[in-house]
Amino acid sequence: MSKRTIEIYDTTLRDGAQSIDVAFSANDKGLIAHKLDELGVNFIEGGWPGSNPKDIEFFRTMKRHPLTHAKIVAFGSTRKAALRVHNDPNLQALLKADTEVITIFGKSWVLHVSTALGISRAKNLEIISDSVAYLCSHGKEVIYDAEHFFDGFKADPDYALKTLESAAKAGATRLVLCDTNGAMLPWEVREIVTKVAKETKTPIGIHAHNDGEMAVANSLMAVKSGATQVQGTINGIGERCGNANLCSVVPNLKLKMDRECLTSEQMQKLQGVSRFVYEVANLSPDKRQPYVGEAAFTHKGGVHIHAVEKHPTTYEHITPEAVGNRRKILISDNAGRSALLAKAKGFNLPLSKGSPQLDVLLRELKDREHQGFQFEGAEGSFELLMRKVLGSSVESFELLGFRVIVEKRDVNQETVSEATIMVRVGDRVEHCVADGNGPVHALDNALRKALELFYPELRDVQLRDYKVRVLTGVHGTASKVRVLIVSGDREREWNTVGVSGNIIDASWQALADSVELCLFREHMAKANPEPKRNLRKGHEKSRPVTRTV
């Protein structure tokens, strides 16, 4: 192994699964494992086969669907003090998992030896040695996780080193130093790892938890001090406050410390893998997550935007594309002409410094944000605004009116919501009614029912998120609100916004923008959008036709 090469050991499927609000199925684990394999990690810790049937199923599944690069690892503990290795159920389950590599953890801290296990120090060393040697005798590569190693070293360095010596002599190929409580500081890690590296010839790894917000820093410091394997999870999910976040560790190793871990091509998949794990775990992505978060390369201030447009390095520490991310320019009342020009370029709109529409757009933006609109989180609505000002929009439909009824017919019955809507598309008028589990849902259903006759592509569009923000509480329940909607289809996702003193009206604005943007993009994407264009221009009928559903 080259001194500059660092092994990446992913434990998302085991340690990450112990995170609050995370529950992976065996199928979920398989999907994530293949994504991690594509990313290029060296080891994937699949779970603890002795702890639950789900992990046993995962290991069986992976035998039928092998990976191309990474090695699947089964995880468990050393033998129980009262049992011999050949009849310890944990060790037998690890062997039945039939993985090439097995990781087991043992005690390094005298507090755990005497208090948690209630055995002698010598007995603990015997347990470590027996367990590693037994697994090695069955042809397994064994990685030894020294649990609570840093706390153990601080309490009794000589004994902590003896636990590593026992594992190494028994055949362990890696000695992983665990900051299990997540309490260490980087300079403590540096001192201890440096000392351990001098005492053993076996490669050292680091497994850091994040209880002190130091897991990434401690992992990097360990590498700087001699560690050649880093264990962590995608997005830092894990027990309590989580594990070292590989989405930060890996780019820091590769781009800042010049250590080989993933290839440049693999690195470009990092954000995609991050989002995939969030999706499978049913967690909302952390927008402010370094490197892979939506905000990581997002610029809002006019000075920042102006500088980044001239030279990205002025406010970006790496190229966003290196980790699969992208630069994003936000539009707000802090923005100036540079921001608008940048957005126009991104939307492929003809706008230059000398365009008279530039000042119109700037005034419109500041006026709308004064009303309560917030376009930094609703780029879809801002794209429509820009296109309307610049005359490049295409009207898909016209609202003639809607009515929403919310009714509770009996105290013991659920509240009923019903919406009626009338829209015009070309010379045709659609008058539809639909119900829903709330007024906005009913309005959304009615709008879709009216428009899907003309635009069947709307069947693929889903409302994925809906947020309401009271802008000021001065007027109580009559206060103005801002509604933010996230919509998406099979390929894309977009945000739209509405503002009003009436929550239904604000919701309508956001819904209408969402549909308009979807249809405009479909219009632009089609090679021959003539049927829709003719319909909008009224070439299909000589007089309006009203249809009630």
| Domain 7-281 CATH superfamily | Aldolase class I (3.20.20.70)
- Check residue 390 and give its pLDDT: 76
Return the DSSP state at 301: S
Closest alpha carbon to 126 in 197, 117, 99, 181: 117
What are the boundaries of each domain within the chain? 7-281, 298-369, 398-548
From first to last of its 549 residues, the chain has per-residue pLDDT tens of 445 699 999 999 999 999 999 999 998 999 999 999 999 999 999 999 977 888 999 999 999 999 999 999 999 999 999 999 999 999 999 999 999 999 999 999 999 999 999 999 999 999 999 999 999 999 999 999 999 999 999 999 999 999 999 999 999 999 999 999 999 999 999 999 999 999 999 999 999 999 999 999 999 999 999 999 999 999 999 999 999 999 999 999 999 999 999 999 999 999 999 988 988 888 888 999 999 998 999 887 778 877 887 898 999 999 999 999 988 776 655 556 666 777 777 777 777 777 777 877 777 777 787 787 877 667 888 888 888 877 776 778 899 999 999 988 788 888 889 999 999 998 899 999 999 888 988 999 999 999 988 988 888 888 888 888 887 655 566 678 888 888 888 778 888 989 998 889 999 999 998 888 888 877 776 634 444 434 333 333 333 444 433
Which two tokens mark 374? Answer: 């917030």
The tens digit of pLDDT for each residue in 456-509 reads: 888 888 888 888 888 765 556 667 888 888 888 877 888 898 999 888 999 999
| Domain 398-548 CATH superfamily | Alpha-isopropylmalate synthase LeuA, regulatory domain (3.30.160.270)
User: Rounded distance, CA 73 to CA 111, Å?
Assistant: 28
Closest alpha carbon to 254 in 315, 318, 190, 175: 318
Residue 253 contacts by C-beta under 8 Å, 6 or more apart in sequence? 6, 220, 223, 230, 259, 261
| CA distances from residue 410 to 71, 206, 345, 404 in whole angstroms, order as listed | 61, 62, 56, 19
pTM: 0.71
Residue 178 contacts by C-beta under 8 Å, 6 or more apart in sequence? 105, 108, 145, 146, 147, 148, 149, 150, 207, 208
DSSP 207-260: EEB-TTS-HHHHHHHHHHTT--EEEEBGGG--STT-B-BHHHHHHIIIIIS--B
DSSP SS3 for 500:
strand
Which two tokens mark 521? Answer: 């993009």
